[in-house]
Amino acid sequence: MIRNTLNTVKTASCRSVGASYRRNQSSVPMLTVSEISYGPLDLLCVSENATGLSRDQVVARFKLANARSRDDRLEKLIEHHWQTKTKANSRLYNGSKFRLAGTRCEDDKLLLDIGLTCYRDLCGTNLASSSQRSEWKNEGKLQHGNTQAFMANPIGVGIVLVTSDHQLVVGRRAAWTGEEPGMLDRPGGHAEPDNVFLSDGSLRPEHEGMSVDEAVMNEIWSSIVQEVEDELGLTKDVLGPVSLLGITLNRNFGGRPTLEFYSRLRMTGEQVHRIYSKGLQPEADETTAIHFLPPSTLQRLLQRLWQGYPEFGDEGLQPEVPKGSFELGDEEEVLREMSTPLKGALHLAGPLLLQLIQSYIPSA
């Protein structure tokens, strides 16, 4: 269950997804949590300002009890899905993942209720057919009062990266990848519980002196930095401060959650491309190319994204796009080739990207 118990300055389109939200006014600036529906996504915007949340504003609450609920019939279905998928794609493998069981706000911090799941369970629940997802969400509501009770809901991570010369970095996903092959996407992946826990469930030695909650949150936060290195070949020293923009819940995949981050690179697009093109990064085969979208293109893309789903701005969350003459040209093709998670990430990053655009492109 996703819930918010903190007074907010302003929220928009607060439609619940197995959740309840308070829409209150406060005279004191506080952490804002807003839910916005965008196409197949529910966007949880969590910020005090356009820059997003820093690491110390996000807290994990880890419990093994936050695992998904089990049912004998569902377990057989999951095993069937897994056997089918691995026969069709020999590169798929199972692995432990963190599960998002809910979110809440306390003491001006975002708290994430986290458990364990695995990639196999993801394939048999969130990635099952639409009719099967609907059936098990209904079962979750009937048996547990929670539509997400049977969903694996592994925590994904993604990052909106902007170069020092104001270009957005996107990659073309390889055809063999399990989700959205061939689409344009931002770097991303999953945090790895195996980096936190030993086989007996105790913390790994490198986390000595930490609480379990702290070690889990550190792994989730650092995992997106690792994904940038693994996919692009960029080391953490070229990343600026990393902030959390919000969480996307993909209804096309049973409400699958992804934490969306933002960072500015201390490198130009040309420098990034030079490193990427060497092909030395561990996950070089996950993408076939990278592309760089300049501010003028971002400006037009953001306008097209908001035009496609005007409800995003219904209650004032849509920032003002610099006015001018827009010739859409190739932007329509770029939009068609964008992954759904990338579109959601760009919505969450919209205020930051527009600040960038306004500092780079004079208003007409």
What are the tens digits of pLDDT across the range 328-337? 347 778 888 9
Burial of 122 (0-12, 13-18, 19+ CB in 10 A): buried
What is d(CA 185, CA 169) in angstroms, rounded to the nearest whole number?
9
At residue 221, the 3 state secondary structure works out as helix
The span from the CA of 114 to the CA of 96, in Å, is: 13
What is the pLDDT at residue 6?
A: 28
What confidence score (pLDDT) does residue 359 get?
80
* Residue 249: closest CA among 241, 239, 259, 240: 259
Helices (H), 16-129: 72-88, 119-124
Location of structure tokens 């990343």: 239
Contact 239, 222 (CB under 8 A): no
Token digits of residue 218:
């550190």
Cα–Cα dist 161/328, whole Å: 23
Helices (H), the chain: 72-88, 119-124, 130-144, 212-232, 269-277, 295-308, 331-337, 340-360
- Residue 269, pLDDT score: 96
Token pair, residue 354, equals 């527009």
Model pLDDT, residue 197: 97
Three-state secondary-structure class, residue 178: coil
Of 354, 338, 342, nearest to 300 by C-alpha is 354
Beta bridge partners of 46: 33
Q: What is the pTM of this model?
A: 0.86
* 134 CB-side CA count, 13 A: 3
Q: Which of 35, 26, 30 has the alpha carbon at shortest distance from 2? A: 35
* CA dist list (Å): 15 to 20, 51, 84: 8, 24, 36
DSSP state of 197: B
The residues of the chain scoring below 50 in pLDDT are: 1-29, 310-329, 364
Sorted by where each starts, the structural domains of the chain and their CATH numbers stand as: 2-360 (3.90.79.10)
Tell me if 347 sits within 8 A of 304, measured CB to CB. Answer: no
What is the rounded radius of gyration, in angstroms, for the C-alpha atoms of the chain? 20
> What is the phi/psi pair of residue 262, to 5°?
-145, 145
The one-character DSSP state at 327 is -
Tokens at 143, concatenated: 């048996």
pLDDT at 308: 63
Reference 100, options 245, 247, 261; nearest CA is 247
